[in-house]
Chains A and B, each alone.
Chain A
Amino acid sequence: MDKFDVLWQSTALAHFTLGQVIMMIVGLLLLYLAIVKKFEPLLLLPIGFGALLTNIPLAGFSEAGGILYYIYEVGIDTGVFPLLIFMGVGAMTDFGALIANPRMLLLGAAAQFGIFATLFGAIALNWVPGFSFTLQDASAIAIIGGADGPTAIFLASKLAPELLGAIAVAAYSYMALVPIIQPPIMKALTTPDERKIEMEQLREVSQREKIIFPIAVLLLTILFLPAATPLVGMFCLGNLMRECGVVERLNKTAQNELINIVTIFLGLAVGSKLSADKFLTVETLGILALGAVAFAIGTATGVLMAKLMGRVSSSKINPLIGAAGVSAVPMAARVVNKVGLEANPHNFLLMHAMGPNVAGVLGSAVAAGVLLALVG
């Protein structure tokens, strides 16, 4: 009988806690969303699997000595993984549409209002019993509104590591939900006539401009916001590798092999933070709610800013493109294109929306820098 007891104690069945079971179900739900619903599968799949692994009793994946523990310490605690991903994103980003029409940067700036308004909202949630967000926590949550996974993870790892799992899951889930969250807001804030507006064709941008651009962005960041240089610097490095045309091999590696490898580990490390004691809290519910609010506000202010610019500017601006200001490249731009086509089947807004879209990436990196400088 003794032997039987020892055997029983060595199975996971004897040690499962309710929390672990629930978190394993959450992990399975993430896998389902990734595989069946195709929601950001590249990230939700490793995150979901990481959640399964980290909640196995007795295996100790996320304790000192376990693989997920080391992956987290090496890659996320240090901030290295999100930065490498950002370099890859830089290598994938074409700033042509933005350089051709630089005023679109204002839309990228306006959409960041979602971040700062949510910061306010997160602190206001403290009135509700059970919530106690510090300014650091609130900043890390608010950056979900930047709709930029690596930026959110980078900031959360610096400001509120204990909330990282929930923040990353919220950020990636909402990025996947952009086609559902954005269109109703876009339609509510624009008239059918405004949605039909066709925009002038963009000018051609020379390779030289594209080469000088990342260097200029970095220079400005160095001068005015050194706190954002880790993010912006890696992003500009990737973009310069893409545009200069002399390091094609590095460019290809940055936007394919390297980013893929890092994505696997980043996802697993984020999944390792989905343990019951950290995730099954009322704060997680708050984070999920605030994230959705942040997205919605960012979309709304982007559209409103585009409307304002359309009124003042001599050239025509379709207010829909403002919604692309919440980075989420290229999903948000595609949504703009789709909503535009519904109103006017001959109106292709994709290229016009790419401008504010990539401006949003810069905008949220700058916003992250501001938060790091003021709150970090």
Chain B
Amino acid sequence: MNSEAISSLLLEAATLLGMGMIFVFTFLALLIAAINLIAAFCRKFPGKPSPDGHSKPLKLSHSGSTDQPDGTTLAAISAAVHQYRKQHPLNVKE
């Protein structure tokens, strides 16, 4: 590679260095502003009555999720559904 080509490449690399660092700093500075905005927003509208801490709502949403109710509830629900289905078509026929 001749020295002229290298010089022009070096110039380009220097431009990249300047532009790149300016952009990275600007972008992350914007992100700082965004995080502060989010924090201000969350302070102003603290949401529903689970204000203390971050881990609680997470746990609640697991144990409270309805896709896995415990055994007795499941039994009761399926018995009720069964009963209803049994009675319903009969009622229609009568």
For residue B20, which residues in chain A have a CB less than 8 angstroms away from its CB? 112, 115-116, 119, 367, 370-371, 374
For residue B49, which residues in chain A have a CB less than 8 angstroms away from its CB? none
Contact A220 B31 (CB under 8 A): yes
Interface centre among B13, B46, B54, B55 (most CB of A within 10 A): B13
Pick from B24, B31, B47: contact of A367, CB under 8 Å: B24
Among B47-85, those with CB < 8 Å from A are: 47, 53-55, 57-58, 61-62
A207 to chain B, nearest CB (A): 4
Among A325-374, those with CB < 8 Å from B are: 359, 362-363, 366-367, 370-371, 374
Question: With A105-B29, A220-B27 known to touch, is A209 a contact of B39 (CB < 8 Å)?
Answer: yes
User: Interface digits, A191-232 against B, CB 8 Å rule (1 contact, 0 not)?
Assistant: 000000000000011111110110011001000110000000
Q: How far is the CA of A216 from the CA of B42 in the complex (A)?
A: 14
Contact A204 B54 (CB under 8 A): yes
B40 to chain A, nearest CB (A): 10
CB nearest to A110 among chain B residues: B25
Q: Which range contains the number of B residues in contact with the other chain?
A: 35 or more
Contact B38 A366 (CB under 8 A): no
Question: With A106-B25, A245-B61 known to touch, is A138 a contact of B13 (CB < 8 Å)?
Answer: yes
Q: Which range contains the number of A residues in contact with the other chain?
A: 35 or more
Contact A375 B24 (CB under 8 A): no
**Interface on B for A, CB 8 Å cutoff?**
1, 3, 6, 9-10, 12-14, 16-17, 19-21, 23-25, 27-32, 34-36, 38-39, 41-42, 46-47, 53-55, 57-58, 61-62
B31 to chain A, nearest CB (A): 6
Contact B27 A120 (CB under 8 A): no
Interface CB pairs A-B, < 8 A, 19: A102-B31, A105-B28, A105-B31, A115-B20, A119-B13, A119-B17, A119-B20, A120-B10, A123-B13, A127-B3, A134-B9, A205-B54, A208-B47, A212-B41, A216-B38, A220-B31, A225-B23, A367-B20, A371-B20
CB nearest to A212 among chain B residues: B38
Q: How far is the CA of A210 from the CA of B34 in the complex (A)?
A: 12
Pick from B10, B31, B62: contact of A123, CB under 8 Å: B10
Contact B17 A109 (CB under 8 A): no
Among A177-196, those with CB < 8 Å from B are: none
Pick from A116, A123, A210, A371: contact of B9, CB under 8 Å: A123
* Interface pairs A-B: 6 shortest CB-CB: A102-B35, A207-B54, A245-B58, A105-B28, A116-B17, A109-B28
Interface centre among A119, A135, A208, A212 (most CB of B within 10 A): A208
Contact B6 A224 (CB under 8 A): no
Among A61-108, those with CB < 8 Å from B are: 96, 98-99, 102-103, 105-106, 108
